[in-house]
Amino acid sequence: MNLRLYELRGADPARLFSPYVWRVRMALAAKELRAETIPWRFTQKDAIAPHGADRVPVLLHDGRAVRESFAIAEYLEDSFPDRPSLFGGAPGRDLARFVNAWADAVVVPGVARMIMVDIVKLLDPEDADYFRRTREQRFGATLEAVAADRDSAVKAFRQTLHPLRMVVRSQPFLSGQAPMQADNIVFGCFQWARCTSPFRLLEPDDPIEAWRQRMLDLHGGLARNVPAFD
Amino acid sequence: MNLRLYELRGADPARLFSPYVWRVRMALAAKELRAETIPWRFTQKDAIAPHGADRVPVLLHDGRAVRESFAIAEYLEDSFPDRPSLFGGAPGRDLARFVNAWADAVVVPGVARMIMVDIVKLLDPEDADYFRRTREQRFGATLEAVAADRDSAVKAFRQTLHPLRMVVRSQPFLSGQAPMQADNIVFGCFQWARCTSPFRLLEPDDPIEAWRQRMLDLHGGLARNVPAFD
């Protein structure tokens, strides 16, 4: 078995971010699988084009390419059914789709507007130009202007996390007593921020912060032991 | 076995609403259980106080009282394990908590601000006074003022539904190929609106509207065949 994962890296290749790549890294660890890393940068489109992809993560399994983080998690679940489950069966998998859609619609853009201004500092010049241009187009303002009100915007952001807060204050993980892919999906967003920005998204007494710490402890501190800001 | 359910009713007792009661009605039907109805109005606090409740639904099972719609669904799941499952196992149940928290934090208040002005018309005078007073206090404005911009507010509301839309456009139910309690939880919010307000929450070509129609078809049209607006 040969697993290789294209991962987004910064100018310093030890700087590993992308919320979507983190979802897959956590999924691989939960499945007790090791993948060889292929560092990738935003502007290296040519490197992944042969795999039908224009962004990462891309997982290569014995040469077969699997794209998009949720599809990769499903692929791992189906390809390695005897290893710890990422979904705990069909209903868990189907509802994890909703968690994925919520994270992508609410958490990713909410975090992005606050940390993009810091991400750009971690990129090599070519990637930084690409990142600034595409993100400023998407948000219709400079990265600095988007982030200018983040000290107040973070309060509204924290309110959008209320459904997550309600759950993790009454059970240790979003998925229940043990973490599963739904946890990895949301955690990826926070780990993206942790790896790229000193800006504090959560208050110390937020139950989500306690859950994030539990996620950082998993797999021997896989997510904790990387270059990061807190 | 004796099941009795306190249900919110309007001045016309055939007018059955409350998003939370609908979640339980759908759960009972999915479990193929019949409960005797005990009509209840907002101001009849004394009727349910002996059961430790100040709102409905309250389910009485052989005299034992169970409060709060999610707890009732869990109680039904655990008490009648041989009947069709509401959660499909532990991971499905744990993630349904997140769906419940999302529905309560996003969908219920989003719908409420648009339909409260219509709900009050369906209540008897005593309930109408109570409803207007408590809701106007909560929203800090008259029901009419809250609803005044609903033609534009509904567009923002529809955007908040995007995670649901992403899922039900690629699978028939939020819970996958078959409906489960997660579907009932969100559907209860739409059924509440359907029973109380002519205001259109969804556009006809929204995948959520197609899902809502599938939910209305369940259990012989249980939710379709009640006094409603569309």
Burial zone of B1 (CB within 10 Å; 0-12 exposed, 13-18 middle, 19+ buried): exposed
Give dist(CA A24, CA A5) in Å, integer.
9
Average pLDDT over residues A68-92: 97
Confidence of residue B63 (pLDDT cuts 50, 70, 90): confident
pTM score, whole prediction = 0.96
- pLDDT of residue A230 exceeding 80: no
pLDDT band at A39 (very low <50, low <70, confident <90, very high): very high
Residue reference for tokens 């912060």: A209
Q: What percent of chain B has pLDDT over 70?
A: 100
Residue B40 lies in a domain: yes
CA A162 to chain B, closest CA, distance in angstroms equals 7
> Is residue B67 included in any domain, yes or no?
yes
What residues of A are in contact with residue B106 (Cβ under 8 Å)?
Answer: 163
Residue B227 lies in a domain: no
What pLDDT is stored for residue B230 in this prediction? 75
Chain A residue numbers touching B89 (CB-CB < 8 A): 88-89, 91-92
pLDDT at B161: 98
Same domain, A111 and A217: yes
Backbone angles phi, psi at A138, to 5 degrees: -65, -40
Q: Which of B87, B104, B166 sits opposite A101 (nearest CB)?
A: B166
Identify the CATH number of the domain in which residue A144 sits. Answer: 1.20.1050.10
A182 part of a folded domain: yes
Q: Are residues B61 and B105 in the same domain?
A: no
Nearest CB partner across the interface for B163, out of A102, A170, A176: A102
Total domain count, chain B: 2
Given B13, B44, B79, the domain boundary residue is B79
| Domain identity same for A108 and A216 | yes
For B104, which DSSP code?
I
Is residue B118 domain-shared with residue B64, that is, in the same domain? no
Q: A-chain residues within 8 Å CB-CB of B92? A: 88-89, 91-92, 95
The dihedrals phi and psi of B36, each to the nearest 5 degrees, come to -70, 140
Cα dist from B56 to A100, A104, B39, B93, whole Å: 32, 34, 10, 22
On chain B, the residues whose CB falls within 8 A of the CB of A98 are: 95, 98-99, 163-164, 167, 174, 182
Query: Average of pLDDT values for B159-181?
Result: 97
A66 and A159 assigned to the same domain = no
* Domain co-membership, B180 together with B208: yes
Mind listing the pLDDT tens digit for each residue in A118-140? 999 999 999 999 999 999 999 99
Q: Say which CATH number the domain at A30 has.
A: 3.40.30.10
User: Number of Cβ pairs closer than 8 Å across A and B?
Assistant: 108
B210 and B115 within one domain = yes
What are the residues whose beta carbons fall under 8 Å from the beta carbon of A104, sequence distance 6 or more? B163, B166
Determine, for residues A95 and B174 on separate chains, whether the beta-carbon distance falls below 8 Å.
Answer: yes
Question: pLDDT category, A1, cuts 50, 70, 90?
Answer: confident
Q: Out of B79, B104, B119, pick the residue that ends a domain.
A: B79
Cβ-defined contact of A92 to B96 (cutoff 8 Å) = no
Q: How much is the pLDDT for B167?
A: 97
- Are B29 and B125 members of one domain? no
**What pLDDT is stored for residue A103 in this prediction?**
98
Residues of B in contact with A95 (CB under 8 A): 91-92, 95-96, 98-99, 174-175, 182
Q: How far apart are the first and last CA of chain A?
A: 36
Residue at a domain's end among A79, A99, A132: A79
* B62 and B110 assigned to the same domain: no
Same domain flag for A143 and A70: no
